[in-house]
Structure 1
Amino acid sequence: MVSEVRKPVLVERELTEEGPRRGSGAKGKKRTVTMNLAESPISWLHARGHLDERQYHAGERLLADYERAQLSPSVTMRWEPVRIRSTGEQDLTASERQLAAKQRFDAAMMEAGSGLKDVLWRVVCGGEGLPTAEKALQWPARSGKLVLKIALDRVADFYRIH
């Protein structure tokens, strides 16, 4: 499955010793860096050789099911027109496609396992970077990458990605 290509959203951020800063008047050494705000954490890891193709595609497939199932919080009502007849995925209605995606997502997360799905959800679906996820889970630094790779391997097995 080919994932949709995200357009880069590049912004200049001022960096201080504490990290990126939006406002001016930072104390300490100053420099700027260009950041791609549209790049997901798994895209970043894959681009730098930390995830192989199989793990990357498993993460993208899991994210696609998460988004199709509309599991993220919504802040407004949907203004999409109601379709009476579907010509898409085997003539499923939008609600049926949403339920099918939710079932696939839940099954993939179960396949990842209880100890691994926390970091998997945070990085793939929540869009958190590994350091942020490790800190939130109170894990040692640089331990999340190994756990994420194991979880993505299990998800790849679930989706039958070779």
Structure 2
Amino acid sequence: MPARSYLRRAASLREEAFIEQHGAIGHVVAGLDGGRQSLRINREESPLSSLARLKESGGPFLPEDALAAGERLFADFTRGQLQLRITASWEPRHASRARGARGGMPDLTDSAIAARVAVNRALDVMGPELAGVALDVCCFMKGLETVERERQWPVRSAKLMLRTALMALSRRYNPPMPARRRRVEHWGAEGYRPELYS
């Protein structure tokens, strides 16, 4: 095992050799600021990484679309700067802000505001019954057992609720293609002409 770790680090010539050695680095394409960009992610760091390995009746417990929806919710949550700050802020104070006043929407960038709007829309799509578990697991990185204990849910129910929430959210991000409408035909006698109303 130590030899394999050493070889993975030696094969990586980048500065992030330690991350390459200990993580499961992958690439995803995400929409950022109106364009699409390829991003490197550590799949082991994802809050959904343990659920991605679960199997159910031969297939994955969470479909790829549901996993991508959870990752996108987390990315929007992070970009929207919605994480609670638990350390001191060393940012200089803005002169326009009154002493002791908190920063608000005027202090955010356009991309952060757009990300907050995206998070709010995602929560609306999931509804109040499902949005809480998706926020807890995907954004606040709580474990399923913790969610069940805090919400006083039965054992192993949080993963089902989370799957339902993420599948609903994936339909919002990737709406199904509408079914082709069949042409309406009219049965009539030969020489029939429809009446046109003006």
TM-score class normalised by the smaller sequence: 0.5 to 0.7
Pairing 1:117–2:135 present: no
**Cα deviation 1:84-118 (Å, max 9, x = unaligned):** xxxxxxxxxx6110000000001101111111111
1:6 corresponds to: 42
Report deviation, 1:157: 1.6
Q: TM-score, normalised by structure 1?
A: 0.66
Counterpart Cα distance in 1 of 2:74 and 2:130: 16
2:172 corresponds to: 158
Higher-RCO chain (CA-CA 8 Å, sequence separation at least 6): 1
Specify every segment of 5 or more residues in structure 2 that has no aligned partner in the other structure, as ranges. Answer: 1-28, 31-38, 55-59, 93-107, 177-198
> What RMSD, in angstroms, separates the aligned Cα atoms of the two structures?
2.4
Report deviation, 1:65: 0.1
1:31 corresponds to: none
Report deviation, 1:153: 1.1
Larger Rg: 2
Is the contact between residue 41 and residue 123 of structure 1 (CA under 8 Å) also seen in structure 2?
yes
2:119 corresponds to: 105
What amino acid is aligned across from residue 131 of structure 2 in structure 1?
K
Pairing 1:130–2:144 present: yes
1:27 corresponds to: none
1:47 corresponds to: 53
Is the contact between residue 74 and residue 138 of structure 2 (CA under 8 Å) also seen in structure 1?
yes
Partner of residue 83 from structure 2, selected from 72, 75, 90: 72
Judged with a 3 Å threshold, the aligned counterparts in structure 2 of structure 1 residues 150 and 141 are, in CA distance, closer, same or farther, namely same
What amino acid is aligned across from residue 159 of structure 2 in structure 1?
K
What amino acid is aligned across from residue 123 of structure 2 in structure 1?
M
Judged with a 3 Å threshold, the aligned counterparts in structure 2 of structure 1 residues 7 and 103 are, in CA distance, closer, same or farther, namely closer
Counterpart Cα distance in 2 of 1:7 and 1:47: 11
Judged with a 3 Å threshold, the aligned counterparts in structure 2 of structure 1 residues 78 and 53 are, in CA distance, closer, same or farther, namely farther
Pairing 1:62–2:68 present: no
Counterpart Cα distance in 2 of 1:56 and 1:66: 15
Report deviation, 1:43: 1.4
Specify every segment of 5 or more residues in structure 1 that has no aligned partner in the other structure, as ranges. Answer: 9-38, 81-93
Percent of aligned positions with the same letter in both sequences? 34
